[in-house]
Structure 1
């Protein structure tokens, strides 16, 4: 199971292997929304996203168990993180990505030494294919993108850092895809300060978690077309979903237009490149989806891997 102790162990294991990302703030943003807002800058993390936390923790475990090759399925950021972690630990890596993968993310995976295989457009397609690949490679281990307790524990270190950096946090807002980041952060925060509101954000076109929580069971949705490519999960994780049900106070959704405007705010007002998947939390705040009552809000900006060519479309 995912516990605070497991997250604290991951925090110790990851010392000197990842960045302790900073908290950013903007008086313009504070005035605009009427709250004290802090941005957890995971877009400045190694490999450009929070994913290195869980990937490094899980790949370390795989190496300890004798693996010499790791295989992952990813829309891009998890794949980059696994490839980076594998290379740093002396392992080979194969990454299964969708046919629609962002070009910059594929290039980064290859730059980190990963072998790239394209498969389908949905998360279910690439997850299934990646597990087939594992069976064909001697000594290979599968590294899930979110549905794994060690991986969630690594992501949960974001929550520990938030609590250490912002002493009076009242609301913490996190992007939700498969649920690994949210599971880790929510577990870390609720185990220590249950009164803090933990809110998840999904794109309107990829709201599998919102629908599943409303239904009380995991539901699968059609392939999403949202610009937030890292949040296009088709169904919540089998392991992450019960954690989200127990520890998340609310799930809200935002439109692609709101996400685009959030990316523009980061660029124009804060001089930060945050990818659409990482900007959904700011989008939710800007359109009034976060009930903060003028208090202290922490937004997780989960990644910053954007194609240079795509920036033109965002602005």
Structure 2
């Protein structure tokens, strides 16, 4: 039995009207851990459990850590999640609610990650938030589900942070014979590590990460995400924090689901009618979710 669930595939009439085409939404925010992350992380956790792992260790205070904690609870395996000091109290509480032991270390994710790696023993499995082929294999299942419902997307829109979702969607498209489908990869201005990699011709570290879409906050995208830009058409798109948050609020009105700004980023170009996608017949947007978002946090940002 999979730790992730089959999520709804819903046509958005409001976004379709705005953009002059059919917009399909894969509602990954409906996953039990609150985001798409449980697909890949659940798949990886089941793999490691089958290989004898008896404790899971992660270094994410966001969606990835929550997915590991959920997987550990379902498999009855203890979980340690190391988070940086910047992790919100809400995120820490959600991790503890899932039964994870939360360790706070360092000012940024890289420091928390080093601490997490230092805790590993032979009986542990480390779950990276985005850079792991097992994760990409698990994430690909969302495309399997879309195709099984009779929708063959001719364009995909998604948010990109570290690149795990991008890599998984690419794998899902390829294994369903959709190798030539273009992808629009959306980031916010202060979190644009994928765009920086494209400009530099290789993955590079972004000096500083700023803004509200903290789940996109990988200082450097994984090599796989960059390599894919050489193999298929991937168009980088950058939106502002305000556009991302406004999209979250508009989406809440239109489709009655709360998502975080990192997910709102992928919807912002659609609400702003910025992509010129009228020539496509079936555009798929990955509504990736967001476990720690609150209505108050969104409203307080826009004032």
For residue 69 of structure 2, the aligned residue among 72, 76, 83 is 83
Contact 1:183 1:244 (C-alpha < 8 Å) held by counterparts? no
Change beyond 3 A, Cα 1:275–1:71: same
CA distance in 2, matches of 1:57, 1:79: 14
Q: Name the counterpart of 2:178.
A: 193
Give unmatched runs, 5+ long, in structure 1. Answer: 1-14
CA distance in 2, matches of 1:249, 1:234: 20
1:111-160 CA distance string (max 9 Å, x none): 111111223343322222221122xx462221111111111111111222
- Say yes or no: does 1:310 pair with 2:294: no
Q: Which has the higher helix share?
A: 1
Q: Name the counterpart of 1:12.
A: none
Deviation at 1:222, TM superposition (A): 2.4
- Say yes or no: does 1:145 pair with 2:132: no
CA distance in 2, matches of 1:244, 1:84: 32
TM-score, normalised relative to structure 2: 0.91
Deviation at 1:286, TM superposition (A): 2.3
Cα RMSD, aligned residues only: 1.9
1:228-262 CA distance string (max 9 Å, x none): 11101100124443245434521211110110110
- Say yes or no: does 1:177 pair with 2:161: yes
Q: Name the counterpart of 1:38.
A: 24
1:187-238 CA distance string (max 9 Å, x none): 2213411232112111111111111022221100123122111101100124
Deviates more, 1:201-210 or 1:19-28: 19-28
Give the length in aligned residue pairs. Answer: 299
Q: Name the counterpart of 1:278.
A: 263
- Say yes or no: does 1:231 pair with 2:216: yes
CA distance in 2, matches of 1:20, 1:146: 21
Give 3-state SS (helix, strand or coil) of 1:47's partner. Answer: coil
For residue 56 of structure 1, the aligned residue among 42, 57, 67 is 42
Deviation at 1:294, TM superposition (A): 4.4
Contact 1:94 1:117 (C-alpha < 8 Å) held by counterparts? yes
CA distance in 1, matches of 2:231, 2:59: 27
TM-score, normalised relative to structure 1: 0.88
Q: Name the counterpart of 1:28.
A: 14
Deviates more, 1:124-133 or 1:262-271: 124-133
Instruction: List 4+ stretches of structure 1 deviating above 6 A.
Output: none
Contact 1:220 1:234 (C-alpha < 8 Å) held by counterparts? yes
Contact 1:47 1:84 (C-alpha < 8 Å) held by counterparts? yes
CA distance in 1, matches of 2:227, 2:183: 15
Give 3-state SS (helix, strand or coil) of 1:169's partner. Answer: coil
Residues 112-261 of structure 1 mapped to structure 2, 5 A cutoff: 112-134=98-120, 137=121, 139-165=123-149, 167-191=151-175, 192-261=177-246
1:155-181 CA distance string (max 9 Å, x none): 111222222335242211111111111
Q: Name the counterpart of 2:3.
A: 17
Deviates more, 1:25-34 or 1:39-48: 25-34
